[in-house]
Amino acid sequence: MPEGQAQVLVVDDDDSVRRAVARTLRNADFAVVSASSADEALVLLRAGRSFDVIVTDLLMPGTSGTEFIRLVRQFELDTPVIVLTGHSSLDSAILVLEHGGFRYLKKTVDSRTLIAAVREASAQHRPPIVGKSSIKPDDAERPRRRDHAELEAEFFRALAQLWIAFQPIVNWTEQTIFGYEALVRSSEPALDTPERLIDAAERLGQVEELGAAIRKAVGESIALAPKSSVLFVNLHALDLTSDDLFSSSALLSAHAERVVLEVTERSSLHHIQDLRPRLRALRRLGFRIAVDDLGAGYAGLASFSQLEPDVAKFDMSLIRGIDKSTRKKSIVRSMIAMCRNDLGTAVVCEGVETEAERDTLSDLGAELLQGYLFAQPSPGFRGPSLFARPLASRSGILAVDLDGRSETDALNVGRR
């Protein structure tokens, strides 16, 4: 590569678009490497290839564009990523920016605008060469290393300051506390929300370390949960590759009969090799499996098929305002029937915030509910104040969530 020429990785499953973008950038004196999928691009990054700018499609088979950006941060903390999409929307643009995207452009963008965006991104990533002796290699790399070191220090401080807030899960039909969900928190100011903590873990490649720390905390908290309770432990997809999760000597494994492992949709399951054998191994240890965010879109439905879960948590997007939406009522009614009657899968509805939502869900046959209507997360095992009579004591569930969102499930879920 000629001195000073910036390297650009172009990722798009559409051959004609990928070739056109690559040709445009090469004509503008960029060195371009192409990949036909996010997974192919990740192979290059895992092999140690480094790029000054990444230009990627948003909607691709397998790993999506937004997920790809998150995974890029495991290899390159500050590489600018430009999203070039033919399906633009405000929601997707916000997602791209939240996950560290540099620019969000439509595929109809003219070549001049695209080239300008890539040049701006490249200039931000690469220090200008004033002269051969003006900037030493170590000096050029120092800002990137300092940023990485700062984030790493914040992350490990956050691990040392993890704490759990508990939120009750209720059986509204029986007017009982069914269990509790434990929501991971940290007192580290820089990573004081679950979203920031997980994003830092992904950017630093420390997802397994975070998962192990949380599972350890869960194992230690079992004694505090109601007797005979089942614990829900939320997993990042990458946790399914962790040896610690499958170890029979791990603290959580010792209580596997009381644990349901819930897989989130932050990271696609498609890149997990031998997924089904891994799930069978977990079930042999005694764990049960739950799927998160069912109803949030294709990803949730795809996970349902891959996981064959014992438990399904309905995404809060289906629950919010369900009392005012005939379509949502119809969808939730059908999903409840499918899960319970056809698949033998237990159902939980999260994000219940109004009495109207609660009553509508009850009319549709939903029993297990959780949300701010009943109680906000708190440091102890507190019960809701919305029942007409005192809550009965019942064997409950303790659910642990990596992303701070509510989830739970029935105690007597079927074995597979």
Are 189 and 113 part of one and the same domain? no
Are 91 and 177 part of one and the same domain? no
Residue 158 lies in a domain: yes
Are 278 and 192 part of one and the same domain? yes
* Encoded tokens for 371: 């949300």
Q: Which residues form the domain of 15?
A: 7-125
Q: Calculate the CA 222 to chain-centre distance.
A: 25
SS3 for 291? strand
Residue 1 lies in a domain: no
Quote the pLDDT of residue 132: 34
pTM for the predicted model, two decimal places = 0.63
* Encoded tokens for 219: 């194992």
Domain count within the chain: 2
Are 171 and 299 part of one and the same domain? yes
Quote the pLDDT of residue 125: 58
Q: What is the largest CA-CA distance in the chain?
A: 79
Residue 416 lies in a domain: no
Residue 194 lies in a domain: yes
Are 325 and 237 part of one and the same domain? yes
Element (H or E) spanning 366, and its range? none
- Among 125, 159, 193, where does a domain finish? 125
Residue 407 lies in a domain: no
Quote the pLDDT of residue 161: 94
CA distances from 8 to 80, 105, 124 (A): 10, 16, 14
Are 266 and 367 part of one and the same domain? yes
First-to-final CA distance of the chain: 55
Element (H or E) spanning 29, and its range? none
Are 250 and 317 part of one and the same domain? yes
CB atoms within 10 A of CB 84: 25
Name residues whose C-beta falls within 8 Å of residue 366's C-beta, 6 or more positions apart in sequence. 172, 332, 336, 347, 349
CATH of the domain at 365: 3.20.20.450
Name residues whose C-beta falls within 8 Å of residue 47's C-beta, 6 or more positions apart in sequence. none
Quote the pLDDT of residue 387: 57
CATH of the domain at 64: 3.40.50.2300
- Among 90, 125, 160, where does a domain finish? 125
Are 263 and 379 part of one and the same domain? yes
Give the CA angle between residues 265, 267, 269 to the nearest 5°: 85
Residue 375 lies in a domain: yes
Whether the CB-CB separation of 77 and 151 falls below 8 Å is answered with yes
How far apart, in whole angstroms, are the C-alpha atoms of residue 245 and residue 236? 11
Half-sphere exposure of 329 (CA within 13 A, CB side): 13
Are 285 and 160 part of one and the same domain? yes
Whether the CB-CB separation of 408 and 178 falls below 8 Å is answered with yes
Are 211 and 337 part of one and the same domain? yes
Are 82 and 156 part of one and the same domain? no
* Position 125, amino acid: H
Residue 132 lies in a domain: no
Quote the pLDDT of residue 4: 64
Residue 208 lies in a domain: yes
The residue ranges of the chain whose pLDDT is under 70 are 1-4, 74-77, 88-100, 125-147, 265-268, 270-271, 297-302, 380, 383-416
Quote the pLDDT of residue 221: 84
Quote the pLDDT of residue 174: 87
* Position 228, amino acid: S
Are 45 and 185 part of one and the same domain? no
